[in-house]
Amino acid sequence: QEDDFDIAREIAVLTRSRTDIGAVVSFSGICRADEDSSRIAALTLEHYPGMAEEEIKRHVDEAMSRWPLNGVTVIHRVGRFMPGQN
């Protein structure tokens, strides 16, 4: 997706009304600026539609086959990111 997201909201959706979840593990990349915050105005991330989703699904399927996961949420952002955005 191109839109930013709220990770706390996504975790709340994943865990809503669930009593069988003992932990939530998350990873969220954040676009960062240079140390002086002046040289990086934005980051543009491109992907190959279809191929990227297939590869992400392969990783999710492997994780679910290896561990007893109760749920998975994957948000793969593309497009232009400003420093500080997910």
Residue 2 lies in a domain: no
Residue 28 lies in a domain: yes
Output the pLDDT for position 54: 96
Output the pLDDT for position 62: 97
Residue 61 lies in a domain: yes
Residue 36 lies in a domain: yes
Task: Give the structural domain span for 32.
Answer: 7-81
**Nearest Cα to Cα of residue 43 among 7, 79, 6, 86:** 79
Report how many domains make up the chain.
Answer: 1
Would you say residue 53 has pLDDT above 70? yes
Higher local confidence (pLDDT), 57 or 36: 57
Do you know the residue count of the chain? 86
Residue 1 lies in a domain: no
Residue 86 lies in a domain: no
**In Å, how far are 11, 20, 59 from 2, measured between CA atoms?**
19, 32, 21
Residue 66 lies in a domain: yes
pLDDT per position as a tens digit, 30-47? 888 877 766 778 889 999
Residue 17 lies in a domain: yes
Give the tokens for residue 47: 């992907």
Residues 29, 13: Cα–Cα separation, whole Å: 20
Residues 7, 24: Cα–Cα separation, whole Å: 12
